[in-house]
Amino acid sequence: MHILLLNGPNLNLLGKREPSVYGFDTLESIQTRLKEKAYKEEVCIDFFQSNSEGALVDQIQKSIGAADGIMINAGAYTHTSIALRDALLGSQIPYVEVHLSNTFAREEFRHKSLLADNAIGIVSGFGASSYFLAFDGILTFLRKKESK
Ligand code: DQA
């Protein structure tokens, strides 16, 4: 089983960026721990981060036929990107939307997600733990699908 974790703009700055909102964990440390968790679950996990919308779209397209599930923290593109929405829908790969912060408890422009209605589920507001909860969620979903 192959899972892809996609991170969008500014998430490469995790650990330094607004730590009162996003915490002190770096993306690298989150990814290292996710890799360990995936190894224990006998699942392959790949990582891709970009600040560019087009590069994220390209990565989703490359994952067709390769990834069984996607976890995506699209950062600010969550609230704006029809291109990412279309790429995810077009790929037909099931995905979970992830946010470190509770976007609904923040500015109004963060309350809208262009990705949420087609997601398996959303994990938002648990800091770095959101990624691990999302991993558990997508794995449960994919294993259930596999056993059908
Ligand atoms: C975020 C929330 C977004 O609104 C914001 O633009 C981010 C991070 C989160 O993980 O909480 O870049 O996706």
How far is residue 100's CA from residue 131's CA, in Å, rounded to a whole number? Answer: 8
pTM score, whole prediction: 0.97
pLDDT in tens, 41-100: 999 999 999 999 999 999 999 999 999 999 999 999 999 999 999 999 999 999 999 999
Nearest to 103 by CA among 64, 136, 76: 76
Closest residue by Cα to atom 13, ligand 1, is 75
Could you tell me what percent of the chain has a pLDDT over 90? 98
For residue 80 and ligand 1, the question of a CB distance below 6 A is answered with no
What share of the chain has pLDDT > 70, as a percent?
100
Counted residue by residue, the chain has a size of 148
Contacts of residue 36, Cβ cutoff 8 Å, sequence gap at least 6? none
Cβ–ligand 1 distance for 122 under 6 Å, the answer no
Atom of ligand 1 nearest to the CA of 73: 13
Burial group, residue 10, by CB count within 10 angstroms (0-12, 13-18, 19+): middle
Indicate if 111 belongs to the active site: no
Q: Is the CB of 33 under 6 A from ligand 1?
A: no
Provide the pLDDT for residue 148: 81
95 counts as catalytic: no
Q: What is the average pLDDT across 92-110?
A: 98
